[in-house]
């Protein structure tokens, strides 16, 4: 990773004592978590700090011991499961009682595969240019799940970055044409990128995005 990006990241952190909160002083999402650019995409700042400290991205939810969303001190974080995240929220006076789980929204619902922070990250990554199929593979859900999250048909109670005004990026258009040339069905390509099959056909036939 570029040293300039690393230096810029830490310059936006109010580093105090080793056991104190290190508050992120730049952009934050609606949940209060910092957001930072890693040179390729937008990341949640506390997850980025974990990566810079330990050399690997957290595989699971990253919870705050301090219950302070903008804190990026790795000593104040721990990895946990979705259930750990829910129990942590309950212990800190948030969320719902276990008996009401099926009436809960988002990560508090018993059938949810994603946490609130993962939904925020999906929206941040999509706003930074990540494709639907990349996000689906990364978070272990379907393309349609990603589309519903990005367009706020689901998880509408959670904030996060707005979807880019352009549905597709230049690199995605090139990838659509590459997949079509390789014989992939238009319907499958459309599902991968969260667009209609007619949009895929128009791209392949160069009725739009003609200059690419």
Strands, E, within 54-196: which ranges? 61-64, 77-80
Could you report the per-residue pLDDT of 28-80, keeping only the tens digit for each? 877 788 888 888 888 889 999 999 999 998 877 788 888 788 999 999 988 87
**Residue 110 pLDDT class (50, 70, 90 cuts):** very low
14, two tokens: 């109010």
* Beta carbons of 33 and 117 less than 8 angstroms apart: yes
pLDDT attached to residue 85: 57
3-state secondary structure 121-139: HHHHHHHCCCCHHHHHHHH
Distance CA 21, CA 74 (A): 9
Give yes or no for residue 204 having a pLDDT over 50: yes
Average pLDDT over residues 109-138: 73
Alpha-carbon dihedral sign for residues 94, 122, 202, 210: positive
Residues found in the chain:
212
* Domain coordinates in residue numbering, the chain: 3-80, 170-204
Bridge partners, residue 121, by sequence: none
Could you report the per-residue pLDDT of 5-29, keeping only the tens digit for each? 999 999 999 998 888 999 999 888 7
Its pTM surpasses 0.85: no
């Amino acid at each position: 990773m570029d040293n300039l990006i690393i230096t810029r990241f830490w310059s936006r952190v109010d580093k105090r004592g080793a056991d104190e909160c290190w508050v992120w002083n730049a952009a934050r999402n609606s949940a209060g978590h910092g957001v930072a650019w890693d040179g390729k995409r937008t990341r949640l700042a506390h997850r980025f700090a974990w990566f810079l400290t330990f050399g690997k991205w957290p595989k699971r939810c990253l919870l705050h011991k301090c219950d302070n969303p903008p804190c990026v001190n790795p000593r104040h974080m721990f990895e946990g499961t979705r259930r750990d995240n829910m129990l942590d929220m309950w212990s800190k006076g948030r969320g719902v009682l276990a008996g009401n789980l099926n009436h809960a929204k988002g990560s508090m619902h018993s059938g949810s595969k994603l946490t609130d922070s993962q939904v925020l990250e999906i929206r941040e990554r999509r706003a930074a240019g990540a494709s639907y199929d990349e996000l689906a593979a990364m978070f272990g859900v379907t393309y349609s799940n990603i589309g519903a999250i990005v367009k706020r048909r689901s998880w509408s109670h959670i904030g996060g970055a707005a979807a880019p005004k352009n549905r597709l990026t230049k690199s995605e258009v090139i990838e659509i044409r590459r997949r079509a040339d390789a014989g992939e069905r238009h319907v499958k390509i459309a599902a991968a990128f969260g667009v209609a099959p007619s949009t895929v056909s128009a791209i392949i036939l160069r009725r739009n995005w003609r200059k690419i």
